[in-house]
Amino acid sequence: MATGFTEAPDARKKRNIAWLSGLFFSLLLFLTLASNTLLTLHLPKVRTEPGREGALVTTWRGTARLMPRQHIELSNKAEWSVRKVHVKEGDRVAKGQTLITYENPAAEQEILDVQASLAGQRLTLVDLQDDYIEAVQNDDEMQARRSKRELERARLAIGVQERKLSTMRSEANDRRRMIAPFDGVVTQVRATPQLPSGSGGPDISLANTQQGYQFEMIIPDAMGLKLRIEEKMNVEIEHEGARVPVEGIIADIRPVTGVDGGTPLQEGAGGSASQTASGQRVVVKIQHPNVQANDLVSVELTQSEKTDGGMLVLNQAIHREGKNSYVLVIEERSGPLGNTFIVRKAPVRLGGTNGQETLVLQGVSMKDRIIVESSEPLVEGQRVRV
């Protein structure tokens, strides 16, 4: 009886010790797991994306203003005063149509003076003829010869005066009005009635509609070098609120360097843009009845580059260190408390880019998890939370 009584407390004591030991180890395991979880929550958070196969598609968009291929400025060379302006900006005119009429009272008075002088010379010629006839009738040979010479001089003087008067009349007719030298459109009018011609600049600016229009823009070398003169280019022109598709022809291509290329932008599918420091100045001629000067021209060029064993990676995943480039990838390691994710630097060799994606030719594979975004700067060997 005494022996059984003493064994019961011993068994209870062993059970308590076993229970406390289990509780201690459970608490220790919980704290270990909790501390690991808390540590993981404080790790930098990253977002990964694998590379993808496919062609590198580059889209370039640019705008320009349409300008006439032939554009001239007209004024009255003699600077006569403007009497009346017969056209306004935007008017279409035909060859030979009167644009402006001019006046110059002093020039017209000079013509009248020359006419009066010529009339006087003709009267003098009549007197000389009478003198010559009288000398012949009187058998005065000496006087006759003298009168004949005077008569000839008078005829020569009259001829000079007649030619002068004809020239003055012709010039006055030419200067009295300005006519259109070709079929065209009036692009600007600066002439003001009662003011001298050219007082505010050229009287009229005229665009030749028969020669058509043109525009020019700087296209990055990546695409500009592939264009050729006389090659066709599809463009869109905004005219009176409508977008008109037009086929243009490349008239000239010339290289330019040292420019920022800020007007035309190179864009990827996401709309990001990058400037270029060199390119090709391309002139495109347009012949279309439903366009006019200063219309906005939109150009979109697209080219596709095969990957040839490489893959496409988002631009934000690419890092540069001097002349070298690299990406950060995730390396997963197994452990007793679960898998951990470690940052590894992978040097890469790059191809072209379209402003959103870059062609990676060497250094990573399709199975690599490439870091494209992180909550804080990363270094190689650092643990992260994916």
Report the alpha-carbon distance of residue 238 to residue 217 in Å, rounded.
Answer: 17
The sign of the CA dihedral 371, 374, 378, 381 is negative
3-state secondary structure of 339: coil
Report the alpha-carbon distance of residue 346 to residue 368 in Å, rounded.
Answer: 10
In order of 104, 170, 193, 304, the CA distances from 83 in angstroms are 9, 19, 5, 62
3-state secondary structure of 271: coil
Report the alpha-carbon distance of residue 234 to residue 231 in Å, rounded.
Answer: 10
Beta-strand relationship, 213-220 and 232-239? unpaired
List, for residues 278-306, the tens digit of each pLDDT value: 799 999 999 988 888 889 999 999 888 77
The residue assigned the tokens 């011993």 is 10
pLDDT exceeding 90 applies to what percent of the chain?
34
- Chain-centroid distance of CA 71 in Å reads 20
Cβ contact 49:158 at 8 Å: no
pTM of the model: 0.57
Contacts of 6 (CB under 8 A, 6+ apart): none
- Chain-centroid distance of CA 32 in Å reads 64
List, for residues 26-57, the tens digit of each pLDDT value: 666 555 555 555 455 667 888 898 888 888 88
List, for residues 195-242, the tens digit of each pLDDT value: 999 888 899 999 998 889 999 999 988 889 889 999 999 999 998 889
Beta bridge partners of 93: 184
**Band of residue 261 on the pLDDT scale cut at 50, 70, 90:** very low
pLDDT at 246 over 70: yes
pLDDT exceeding 70 applies to what percent of the chain?
84
Q: Can 46-56+309-384 and 59-69+212-305 be said to share one CATH topology?
A: no
Selection from 187, 182, 176, 179 nearest residue 88 by Cα: 187
User: In the chain, what are the domain boundaries?
Assistant: 46-56+309-384, 59-69+212-305, 71-189
- Which architecture characterizes domain 46-56+309-384 according to CATH? Beta Barrel (2.40)
Selection from 385, 242, 230, 222 nearest residue 305 by Cα: 222
Cβ contact 198:73 at 8 Å: no
Contacts of 174 (CB under 8 A, 6+ apart): none
List, for residues 69-113, the tens digit of each pLDDT value: 998 999 998 889 999 999 999 898 999 999 999 999 988 898 899
- Which architecture characterizes domain 59-69+212-305 according to CATH? Beta Barrel (2.40)
Give me the DSSP letters along 204-254: EEEEESTT-EEEEEEEEHHHHTT--TT-EEEEEEEETTEEEEEEEEEEEEE
In order of 60, 268, 304, 370, the CA distances from 315 in angstroms are 17, 11, 17, 11
List, for residues 308-364, the tens digit of each pLDDT value: 778 899 999 899 888 899 999 988 877 655 678 888 999 999 888 888 888 888 888
Angle in degrees, CA 370, 321, 269, rounded to 5: 50
CA end-to-end distance (rounded Å), the chain:
66
